[in-house]
Amino acid sequence: MRFFLLLFFVPLIADDSFITRFEYAKMLYENPRGVGCHYCHGLKGEGKIIAKYIEKGKKRYLKAPDIRDVEYKRFYKKLNSKKFKSAMPSYFLTRSEIKTLYYYIKMINSEDKR
Ligand code: HEC
């Protein structure tokens, strides 16, 4: 029975058809069991100003960086980090979910050939 269930679910997640995998990836980017990446990094990972403030009379910005060209190793490290001293929240994602997020950012940006 367990084996049967596995056979049933695996194609849902690992389907090679473009739409299914892409849609799953988009869903994960916008709802990664926590605050969606897009709120801070933008819909395509292009980066965004997430707060404006004034410090010592000067206008300052807190920006979530552009993550479109981050290499995988760095991407993985960042998402797997359990250090709580960043403006970015910690996530508890599996290796495969992190890979999917990376794939999503690559896919969505190659599509419109910036
Ligand atoms: C609350 C805002 C916020 C959210 C939500 C957020 N981030 Fe970030 N992220 C940041 C900030 C700010 C930085 C820069 C500071 C740092 O590296 O800790 C950052 C840094 C990163 C970096 C490192 C970039 C580099 O050049 O090294 C990656 C990769 C990244 N985020 C990916 C993601 C992904 C994927 C998600 C969703 C699972 C996400 N972030 C959600 C704010 C956010």
The number of beta carbons lying within 10 Å of the beta carbon of residue 98 is 20
CA–CA separation, 45 and 39 (whole Å): 10
pLDDT digits (tens, 9 = 90+) for 47-105: 999 999 999 999 999 999 999 999 999 999 999 987 767 889 999 999 999 999 999 99
Residue 94, CA distances (Å) to 14, 17, 76, 100, 101 in order:
14, 22, 10, 10, 11
Q: What is the DSSP string of 17-32?
A: SHHHHHHHHHHHHH-S
Ligand 1 contact via 41 beta carbon (within 6 Å): yes
> What pLDDT score was predicted for residue 22?
87
> What pLDDT score was predicted for residue 21?
87
In a domain, 2, yes or no: no
Residue 41 near residue 64, CB atoms below 8 Å: yes
In a domain, 99, yes or no: yes
Ligand 1 contact via 89 beta carbon (within 6 Å): yes
CA–CA separation, 87 and 49 (whole Å): 12
Distance 88 CA to ligand 1 centre (A): 5
CA–CA separation, 60 and 75 (whole Å): 26
- Number of domains making up the chain: 1
CATH number at residue 47: 1.10.760
pLDDT digits (tens, 9 = 90+) for 16-52: 555 678 899 999 999 999 999 999 999 999 999 999 9
Longest dimension (CA), the chain: 66
In a domain, 48, yes or no: yes
In a domain, 28, yes or no: yes
Ligand 1 contact via 43 beta carbon (within 6 Å): no
In a domain, 86, yes or no: yes
In a domain, 36, yes or no: yes
Q: Where in the sequence is the domain holding 79, given as residue range(s)? A: 16-111
